[in-house]
Structure 1
Amino acid sequence: MSDNSLNGGLVSSAYNQALEVIASVEPRVAAATRQELADQRASLKLIASENYASPAVLLTMGTWFSDKYAEGTVGHRFYAGCQNVDTVESLAAEHARELFGAEYAYVQPHSGIDANLTAYWAILAHRVEGPWLTDAGVKNMNDLSEADWEKLRAALGNQRLLGMSLDAGGHLTHGFRPNISGKMFHQNQYGTDPATGLVDYDALRAKAKEFKPLILVAGYSAYPRRVNFAKMREIADEVGATLMVDMAHFAGLVAGKVFTGDEDPVPHAHVVTSTSHKSLRGPRGGFILATEEYAPSVDRGCPMVLGGPLSHVMAAKAVAFAEARTPEFQTYAQNIADNAQTLAEGLMKRGTKLVTDGTDNHIVLLDVSSFGLTGRQAESALLDAGVVTNRNSVPADPNGAWYTSGIRVGTPALTSRGFGADEFDAVADLIVEVLQNTQAGTTSAGAPSKASYVLGDGVADKVRARSAELLDKHPLYPGLDLA
């Protein structure tokens, strides 16, 4: 948290009064809200996609902007009375452009998946629909004959997308077949080098030349290394593809200038999508950055893909982007990366196998098969001990995407609490303590189970006690007292 995240007793007063109002209508919601803060304060939050937003960001979401419909774009709404929404959306877009050095920013997407869907359809509109309509001599789709409309639909629905495979660290929305992205595109996937777990750019180039995608997707949700986006752009240009980068996970490292040059996607990609939470530490939501060439198509996000924008969340994005433009945020971002390396080194020196043998971003991916466990068993045992992680596939995972063989951990949240090198080395010790003392269980028929597990007696209590010592030194939202 930034030093100015709390202002005397103002924040405590604000939240206590808000909870009183909520409790007067539905006390169980107020109670769950209080309990959520207590649980987060008492847990080692290591989920790489989670963080702690500042009180300013959180409070911005709880306003009457929630009551306003504002379909359309700034100055061009389908509803009257949107002048104040125009103000906050313009501010959010301005801060995003300045923060990332982008030509254009679109802050309406409700989530990362919405941002990706909007980007996909914007690219299709720019690369397929626009030229198709021009060739057909039609200015408006409403003027198409039914036969021409069927031809356009076929053209839009038969384009190729090449993205990172799920087990290599890609995301569901990068062409995973059960996801809509895998259904709307003729998709193919690239993986990583089996020996190193790293992206093989030569192999990727060869696959791109063979497959010839319209869209090349870069970015990841569980790849513990940096990506050379200059090389990605070279490959995209060689095959005539649009380069789209999903930086949802590492946007905070881009904003904080940890990723620069070839590792900064914004100067190299045609379109960049992201979430505003995760390492960026803002509200839950999405946004898109693009070159001016793609801006008009992205601006059609509503009504092309999106419904009414969440004006209260756009306002919170503006606040979060403003926070990220400070020198303090750059220090925070560097600490995220430094702490991830410390955590990785701490795990490896205690005998833990890591995918790619380390990290140079915010993600550490453990292969827990060396402990005789599935990811699901490890995730559950760690949660029993107050260590919050998520199971995740590893390359060529024999246990599939549900049970998995991996555990993904990340450093953004605990770094927000002020954890440094000593604390993250201690966290590595706690993780190994749990995994070494967990055994795979059996089914009711006595067969090996991928889900059940047995955690050694007293281990959970021991780890929780040691965690409490670390957490007490770095309180969450210090000074926020709920009555």
Structure 2
Amino acid sequence: MSYVLEENDPEILGFINQELERQNTHLEMIASENFTFPSVMEAMGSVLTNKYAEGYPYKRYYGGCEFVDKIEELAINRAKKLFDCAFANVQPHAGSQANCAVYSALLKPYDKILGMDLSHGGHLTHGAKVSLTGQIYQSFFYGVELDGRINYDKVAETARIVKPNMIVCGFSAYSRKLDFARFKEIAESVGAILMADIAHVAGLVVAGEYPNPFPYADVVTTTTHKTLRGPRGGLILTNNEEYAKKIDKAVFPGMQGGPLMHVIAGKAVGFGENLKPEWKEYAKQVKSNAKVLAKVLMERNFKVVSDGTDNHLILLSLLDKKYSGKDADLALGNAGITANKNTVPGEMRSPFVTSGVRLGSPALTARGFKEAEFEIVANKIADILDDITNTQKQEKIKSELKELALKFPIYNKAIF
């Protein structure tokens, strides 16, 4: 309990404690969310939040940076060791800003980007028209087949027609492995730069549980939360010295002013956790739990896109149901399961309604859930969706899942 907040702003403290209660009693299954380490939160809540440090280590525009220089240098070195690469920029405030900085560094306005279609599992910053990336650059898209998998021959054909300056491989809702070698082959065939956005799977990549985009990708971007369990933020990596210099200039002074030194310290702490031997066990469990989730739901006659998963997420297709992804999202929420509606291959509804639900395993795995717990949760999801209008059943399941959740507490209130 924070006595300072209790005295100075009890209203905010009340909301924080309510959110802590929600996180402890609900099941977090949004694939892009996770529970970070208490040590990361401690670093982020430190005096580092007071320090401006425009520039880079030992080349700042402000005085008094001798200690934050060492912190950023440590974050950089840990990131390079973690991803086995020559360069890391740890300053981007988010994955979206990391992506935009790479485009700014390596492309000119109206250059061509070929990325995964947002409605097929891509990300806004892969050229979606509603994003600045789709307004500053000419954006073209590849997608998935009705089986939920990328057809690389079609990607190659599109690349030959479009002749993009950059190909982006990455996703926010794709449950299979990306073939980085094939993407590199396609990029080289048309003279394009290859950027891999591994925001969703970075934690699996560093554990050896998902293919590494190096040495195929020219540039790699990621967030530092999601499967990495660090603080909210972005990261840019490359082995190309020329690109590295351009990326540094694009991040600062091109995209951002002062870096968030308290977040960079949190990144360093998170990378330290990722470098520990125990991290590999966590990543293995994330994948195993996702596979159990997919298996049980398919056994309960639900359609899982691509019939399974190779990573931390599954996409549930409800095209054969009378209800929508939005309906399912609300019903699951009523039962204490936090998920998100999502478009699916063959989508017939609007992006605001959708015909699917995305479910992920990282956050519950961080709490200590294993295969047995995921089997229980998967069956409860099926029970809810099989009788989606039954609010009494939703309330009953919410009570049962709360009892399960409280066996796996996240944080002790004392750390606040």
TM bucket (normalised to shorter chain) is over 0.9
Out of 34, 43, 54, the position equivalent to 2:17 is 34
Which residue type is aligned with residue 255 of structure 1?
A: V
Alpha-carbon shift at residue 473 of structure 1 (Å): 2.8
Question: Given the alignment of the two structures, is residue 285 of structure 1 paired with residue 236 of structure 2, yes or no?
Answer: no
Of 210, 219, 222, which aligns to 2:170?
219
Q: Distance in 1 between matches of 2:325 and 2:56?
A: 44
Contact in 1 for aligned 2:231/2:266 (Cα 8 Å): yes
Alpha-carbon distance between aligned partners in 1 of 2:142 and 2:346, rounded to the nearest angstrom: 12
Shift of 1:395: 2.0
Among 51, 68, 74, the residue aligned to 1:85:
68
Give, in whole Å, the separation in 2 of the partners of 1:347 and 1:390: 17
TM-aligned CA deviation for residue 355 of structure 1:
1.1
* Structure 1 position 396 matched with structure 2 position 356: no
Kindly provide the CA deviation profile for residues 430-480 of structure 1, in whole angstroms up to 9, marking residues without a partner as x.
111111111xxxxxxxxxxxxxxxx31411221112212322332223x55
Letter in 2 for 1:293: E
Code of the aligned partner of 2:78: H
1:476 corresponds to: 410
Q: Say whether residues 1:180 and 2:120 are aligned partners.
A: no
Whether the aligned pair in 2 keeps the contact of 1:343 and 1:424 (CA below 8 Å) is yes
CA displacement 1:221-280 (0-9 Å, x = unmatched) = 000111010111111111110000110010100111112xxx211321111111000000
Counterpart for residue 140 of structure 1: none
Q: Is 2:260 aligned against 1:297?
A: no
| 1:196-223 Cα distance to aligned partner (Å, 9 max, x none) | 2111111111111111100100010000
- For 1:57 and 1:404, the matched residues in 2 are separated by 35
1:354-373 correspondence runs (5 A) = 354-373=304-323
Code of the residue aligned with 1:100 in structure 2: it is F
1:481 to partner: Cα distance: 5.0
Aligned: 1:353 with 2:323? no
Determine the C-alpha separation between the residues in 2 that align with 1:364 and 1:215. 28
Sequence identity (%): 43
For residues 85 and 244 of structure 2, the distance between their equivalents in structure 1, rounded to whole angstroms, comes to: 11
Alignment partner, residue 333 of structure 1: 283
Instruction: Give the aligned partner of residue 131 of structure 1.
Output: none
Between Structure 1 and Structure 2, how many residues are aligned? 414
Distance 2:16 2:230 in 1: 19
- Tell me which residue corresponds to 1:265: 213
Contiguous gaps of at least 5 residues in structure 2: none
Given candidates 190, 193, 205, the residue that maps to 1:254 is 205
Q: Could you tell me which runs of 5 or more consecutive residues in structure 1 were left unpaired when the two chains were aligned.
A: 1-15, 125-155, 439-454
1:160-189: CA deviations, max 9, x gaps? 000000121111110110111111111100
Partner of 2:235, secondary structure, is strand
Instruction: Read off the aligned partner of 2:76 and give its amino acid letter.
Output: A
Deviations 1:3-59 (A, max 9, x none): xxxxxxxxxxxxx2xx21112211111111111111100001100001111110011
Summarize deviations over 1:362-393 as a string: whole Å, max 9, x none: 11101123331111111111111100001111
Query: Partners of 2:391 and 2:205 in 1: how far apart?
Result: 44
| Of 124, 136, 141, the match for 1:189 | 141
**Is this contact kept in 1: 2:293–2:374, CA < 8 A?**
yes
Conservation of the 8 A alpha-carbon contact between 2:319 and 2:347: no
Which stretch of structure 1 is more off in the superposition, 65-74 or 383-392?
65-74
2: CA distance, partners of 1:199 / 1:184: 26
Distance in structure 1 (CA, Å) of the matches to 2:29 and 2:128: 25
1:464 aligns with 2:401: no
Structure 2: distance between partners of 1:75 and 1:230:
37
Match of residue 412, structure 1, among 350, 359, 362: 362
Among 222, 228, 232, which residue is 1:274 paired with?
Answer: 222
Distance across 2 between alignment mates of 1:237 and 1:109: 28
Amino acid at match of 1:240: G
Work out the CA distance in 1 between the residues paired with 2:265 and 2:307: 41
Measure the CA separation in 2 of the matches of 1:378 and 1:458: 15
TM-score normalised according to structure 1 size: 0.84
**Structure 1 170/457 Cα, relative in aligned 2: closer, same or farther at 3 Å?**
closer
Could you list the runs of 4 or more consecutive aligned residues of structure 1 that deviate by over 3 angstroms after TM superposition?
A: 479-483
Question: How much does 1:482 deviate?
Answer: 7.7
Is 1:421 paired with 2:355? Answer: no
CA contact (8 A) 1:160 1:186 kept: yes
Equivalents in 2 of 1:89, 1:349: separation in Å?
Answer: 48
Shift of 1:76: 1.2
Q: Is the 8 A contact 1:118 1:306 kept in 2?
A: no
Matched with 2:161 is: 210
Instruction: Tell me what 1:3 maps to.
Output: none
The secondary structure found in structure 2 opposite 1:222 is coil
Larger Rg: 1
CA–CA separation in structure 1 for the residues paired with 2:348 and 2:257:
40
C-alpha contact 2:223 2:234 (8 A) present in aligned 1: yes
Aligned to 1:160: 112
Specify the code of the residue in structure 1 equivalent to 2:96.
Answer: I
Once residues 463 and 121 of structure 1 are traced to their aligned partners in structure 2, the CA distance between those partners, rounded to angstroms, is 49
Paired residues of 2:286 and 2:312 also in contact (CA < 8 A): yes
Find the aligned partners of 1:234 and 1:115 in 2 and give their Cα distance. Answer: 24
1:102 aligns to what? 85
Question: Is the partner of 1:427 in helix, strand or coil?
Answer: helix
**Matched residues in 1 for 2:73 and 2:61: separation?**
17
